[in-house]
C-alpha cells in the first residue's frame, strides 16, 4: 500500500530549538516544512542537514504574526501535500525590559509573534487536522510562563497565555484525535540565550538544580515524542525541560 508521508511544520526552524526539532522530526521520518522569517540562508543550511541525513523537507518562509499569510501557506501545504500531521509552534522573540520601561511596540511585537503567531498557526493547522481526525500540535512556551521572571513580563505574558490557549484548544480538539501539548524549556543554549552576559548566565545557573544549561536537542527529543504515536493518549499537558529549575 502507498502510505502517505507524515508531514510536520516547524515554525522558526532556521536556528536553535526549531532547527534541532526539524532535524529530529526528519530523522523520525516526517517530511518537514522548515519555516523562518528573515534568515533564509540559515534555514537552507537546516534543510541541507536534513537532506544529508537522508531526510526530506522544504523551506516554507513566512512571518507567523501575519494571519492571512499563515492561512495561505498552510492551505498551500494541504493542497499540495495533504494535511499536516504535526505542527511545532516554536517561532519566538524576546524583548526584555522592566515593566515601567516597556515600550508599546515591544509589547505588541512580543504578543504578536510569541502568542498570536502560535494561535494563527494552530487555528490553520487545526482545520486540516480535524478533517483528517488526527494530528499533534506542540507549543514551545517557556519556564518563565510558569514561574515569571523580572524583566520578562511581556514575554512571560505571551508564554503563559500560550499555556491557557493550548489547554482550551486541547479540550476542543480531543474528540477529533488532535492533541495539543506544551513544552516549557528552561534555559537552553541558543542565539536567544547567547545575548546574556556572563554574570546573568552565572545567576541563572544558580537557579538550575542540574547546574547546566540545556541543549536544543533536549527540547527536540520531547517534541519528537509528542509528535509520535507513542504519545497518543497525552493531550493538554505542560511538560518542562528545565533541569529542575521549576517543578
Ligand atoms: P532563536 O535561536 O532566537 O530562534 C528563533 C527562531 O524564531 C528563528 O528561527 C527565527 O527565524 C524565528 N522567528 C522569529 N520571529 C519569527 C516570525 N515572526 N515568524 C517566523 N519565524 C520567526 O530562539 P530559540 O532560543 O531557539 O527559541 C525557540 C523557542 O523556544 C522560542 O519560542 C523561545 O521563546 C522558546 N524558548 C527558548 C528558550 C531558550 O533558553 N533558548 C527557553 C524557553 C523558551 P529567523 O532566523 O528567520 O529570524
Q: Is the pTM of this model over 0.95?
A: yes
- Rounded to the nearest 10 degrees, the angle between the axes of helix 16-27 and helix 40-52 is 30
CA of 64 to the centre of ligand 1 (A): 11
* In contact, 86 and 135? CB cutoff 8 Å: yes
Could you state, in order of their start, the residue ranges of all structural domains in the chain? 7-241
Distance separating alpha carbons of residues 155 and 142, to the nearest angstrom: 9
Specify the ligand 1 atom closest to the Cα of 17: 26
Q: How far is the CA of 223 from the CAs of 17, 55, 152, 247, in angstroms?
A: 10, 17, 25, 19
Fold of 7-241: Rossmann fold (3.40.50)
Pocket probe for ligand 1: among 18, 43, 146, 149, the residue whose CB has the most ligand atoms within 8 Å is 18
Per the CB < 8 A criterion, the answer to whether 115 and 162 are in contact is yes
- 53 φ, ψ (degrees, to nearest 5): -85, 5
The helix or strand, by DSSP H or E, that contains position 225, with its residue range, turns out to be helix 216-227
pLDDT given at position 96: 94
- C-alpha cell of residue 148: 515569571
Q: How far is the CA of 97 from the centre of ligand 1 (A)?
A: 18
CA–centroid distance, residue 112 to ligand 1 (Å): 13
DSSP state for residue 163 in the 8-state scheme = H
Give the integer Cα–Cα distance in Å for 231 and 183.
14
pLDDT(1) > 50 = no
User: What does the buried/exposed string (b/e) look like for 155-188 if buried means 16 or more CB atoms within 10 Å of the residue's CB?
Assistant: bbbbbbbbbebbbebbeebeeeebbbbbbbbbbb
Expressed in angstroms and rounded, the spacing between residue 208 Cα and the centre of ligand 1 is 22
Pair 152, 93: CB distance under 8 Å: no
Residue 200 near residue 3, CB atoms below 8 Å: no
Three cell numbers written together for 163:
499555556
pLDDT class of 196 with cuts at 50, 70, 90: confident
pLDDT the model gives residue 2 = 54
pLDDT in tens, 124-161: 999 999 999 999 999 999 999 999 999 999 999 999 99
Instruction: Choose among 140, 161, 143, 139: nearest CA to 247.
Output: 143
Looking from the CA of residue 213, the nearest atom of ligand 1 is 40
155 as an active site residue: the answer is: yes
Nearest CA to ligand 1 atom 44: 142
Lining ligand 1 with CB less than 6 A are: 11-18, 35-39, 42, 63-65, 90-93, 113, 117, 140, 142, 185, 187-188, 190-193
Q: In what order do the strands lie in the sheet with 238-241?
A: 56-59, 31-34, 7-10, 86-89, 135-140, 178-185, 238-241
Average pLDDT taken over every residue of the chain: 97
Distance CA 59, CA 4 (A): 20
| Ligand 1 atom at minimum distance from 37 CA | 47
Task: Tell how far the Cα of 117 is from the centroid of ligand 1, in angstroms.
Answer: 12
Give CA–CA dist 66/116, Å, rounded: 9
Tens digit of each residue's pLDDT (9 = 90 or more) over 35-93: 999 999 999 999 999 999 999 999 999 999 999 999 999 999 999 999 999 999 999 99
Amino acid at each position: 500500500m502507498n502510505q502517505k508521508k507524515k508531514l510536520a511544520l516547524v515554525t522558526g526552524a532556521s536556528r536553535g530549538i526549531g532547527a534541532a526539532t526539524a532535524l529530529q522530526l526528519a530523522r523520525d521520518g516526517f517530511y518537514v516544512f522548515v519555516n523562518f522569517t528573515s534568515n533564509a540562508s540559515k534555514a537552507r543550511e537546516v534543510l541541507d542537514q536534513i537532506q544529508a541525513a537522508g531526510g526530506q523537507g522544504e523551506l516554507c518562509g513566512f512571518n507567523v504574526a501575519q494571519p492571512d499569510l499563515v492561512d495561505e501557506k498552510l492551505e498551500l501545504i494541504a493542497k499540495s501535500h495533504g494535511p499536516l500531521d504535526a505542527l511545532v509552534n516554536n517561532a519566538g522573540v524576546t524583548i526584555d525590559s522592566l515593566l515601567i520601561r516597556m515600550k508599546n511596540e515591544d509589547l505588541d511585537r512580543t504578543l504578536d509573534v510569541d502568542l498570536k503567531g502560535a494561535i494563527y498557526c494552530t487555528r490553520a493547522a487545526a482545520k486540516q487536522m480535524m478533517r483528517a481526525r488526527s494530528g499533534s500540535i506542540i507549543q514551545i512556551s517557556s519556564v518563565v510562563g510558569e514561574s515569571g521572571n523580572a524583566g520578562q513580563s511581556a514575554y512571560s505574558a505571551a508564554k503563559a497565555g500560550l499555556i491557557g490557549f493550548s489547554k482550551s484548544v486541547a479540550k476542543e480538539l480531543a474528540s477529533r484525535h488532535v492533541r495539543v501539548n506544551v513544552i516549557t524549556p528552561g534555559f537552553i543554549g541558543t542565539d536567544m540565550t547567547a545575548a546574556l552576559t556572563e554574570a546573568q548566565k552565572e545567576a541563572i545557573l544558580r537557579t538550575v538544580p542540574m547546574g547546566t544549561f540545556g541543549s536544543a536537542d533536549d527540547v527536540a527529543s520531547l517534541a519528537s515524542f509528542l509528535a509520535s504515536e507513542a504519545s497518543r493518549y497525552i493531550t493538554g499537558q505542560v511538560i518542562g525541560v528545565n533541569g529542575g529549575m521549576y517543578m
